[in-house]
Structure 1
Amino acid sequence: MSHRFFLFPIALVCSLLQSQPLHKVTINFASRTGTTWPLYIAKDAGSFEKYGLDANIVFAVHPAAIAMVISGEAVMTNYPLEQAMLAASKDASLAIVGSPFRKSLFALMAAKNLSNVRDLKGKRFGVSQIGDAPYNYAVGLLAKSGMNPRDVQWVPIGTDVNGRAAALVSGRVDATMITAPVYFKLEQQGFKALANTSDYDDIYAPTVYVFKKTTLASNPKLVDALIEAHTEAIQRFYNDKPFALKAYLKHMPDDPADLERVYDRYAMTNTFERVPYLPAAAVQYMIDHPVDEQAAAQMKKFDFRTVIDNGVIDRLLREGYFEKLFGPGIKDEESKKAKLAFR
């Protein structure tokens, strides 16, 4: 009998599977920085399609980004922890599910005539919004030099890292927080990096996955698929440097040499989490370092166990997902991260 009679049913099944429509989803990213790198990789590597998803990744800064999730316009956002916690403490419909990123290379960049952090007393400090991630990191770095938020004049710029950099170059502000590779260019122009969050292990600046609780309850397979696609992109980041660089530059054109510096630092420090538990220490840091007194009162009275859910990561671990993806060598990391996770 001809082999073509056996091959025809197989080809038909494959054709039917491929013809099934992909589920359209929108994913927000709130920062045009390295935090979004795995989303670029997942988009270009076909990771979303592998899980039956047609993913559209859309940029919007705080607070518009979190509003996209609340309204249902976006199914997920990759968000700074402190903003996610404050938002969830005000709207308990949100769920914080795991943490894929430890912290950016975030430099406190200052005018050319300033030489140390204490020189910023009374100076204009640019942030996108009061209470946003750059603001919080700035407050943390100021505290390392014995200063508090009232020691500087905060200037809301209302845009992202490129807008903050432009404000510094134009003289509109005397200092601001800038991520790599943007701050590399500022250093070349003579602006000073007075401090960097990456130099302090006790300054936490992770990002987290944020969903609506109703999504976790009604469509847990979608949540799993998004986290798995993102985690597989993280694996591709570590295993395929040329592809990672190519994907980033496609979505966010930049100087290739500068981007390679960022990649090497991220890879050396394991910035992206292979087992993306949200650690308890990071949650406590945000409670202990609120943006203002009102936020302090809100955060301290709220039970974050009602909105932070490491259970999705627990389930993927029990099912052997991370071991299948990264190999048996990941088991020690799984055990360590699980013990340190917020419960």
Structure 2
Amino acid sequence: MVFKRMLGAFGVGAPSVDTVLSTPRIQPGGLLTGEVRLKGGDFDADIEHVTLSLVARVEIEHGDGEGAGVGGFSRAQVSGPFTLRQGEDRVIDFQVPVPWEAPISEIGGQHLNGMALGVRTELAIAKAVDKGDLDMVAVEPLPSQLRILQAFLQLGFQFKSADLEAGHLYGVHQELPFYQEIEFYPPRLAAVGEVEVTFVASPHGLEVVLEADKRAGRHSGDAIGRFTVSHDDAMRTDWPSEIDRWLAGLSQHGHGFGHGGFGHGEHHGDSYGHHQGHHGHHGHHEEHRGGPGLGAVAAAGAAGVVGGLVAGEIVEEIFEGDEEEGGDGDW
């Protein structure tokens, strides 16, 4: 997209902008690097600043319903004031920190259905701001997160979808104004329905929230558990055994962690409250139908996680549709 995006807010003959990412695939806590390429238009332009924003498609409650919007969740000014001369070519290098809580949108090169993340480039000229460039970016899981996702597949779960929900999780320290839910179909004979996994990462470790739909017995409903684990301990934990232990506890005791918590993690009680700002959780739950999934058995490495994953919609179209409906805002 070299210099083809004219800055519409400033009229015919305005400068053009293109952002080229050196790291189109990143991890939470990493650095997004690249360069902003500007080309002067038919007149000198006094640039007030150049700013990059990470943006995402987020599900937002509206009264009794729910819609989707595009929100910026991390902003970095990569240039202060300067004059872009007529016809001038200028390149601005940048390194932008990626939040540790950044949602996962890709595993092993495969896009997660339901996720749309991008980097938006904004130019300010004479108090007007033009969001002149939007580039897709992929966030891959940390090794500690990948181990947990693989464990669900080893237990026979299949990937369903992922999305971002506006709001905060009850009892969890959370920097971003939304959280990600990665949803799995259960094995056919499981006592639980769909299971949702939420990661809240930090430099020190992971807060992991599990929500299971208990579909059988007198203790039907949703069960929620959470635990904290360091990144190092997450790599040493036998996650299939620990998750299976938690699921067995749900069927035996109706709630919580049935056998005393997660091996190397810090146990935070049997169950807890609710999602602050959550929408009451869907109202119904689909049965497992063997739909789009990651495969029943995880192979070693990321390839095992994404085998059979169905690619999502074209993310540019998702962003464009949401911007028309709800606009783009900063959280």
Normalised to the residue count of structure 2, the TM-score between the two structures is 0.28
Larger helix proportion, structure 1 or 2? 1
Larger strand proportion, structure 1 or 2? 2
Higher relative CO (Cα under 8 Å, sequence separation at least 6) belongs to 1
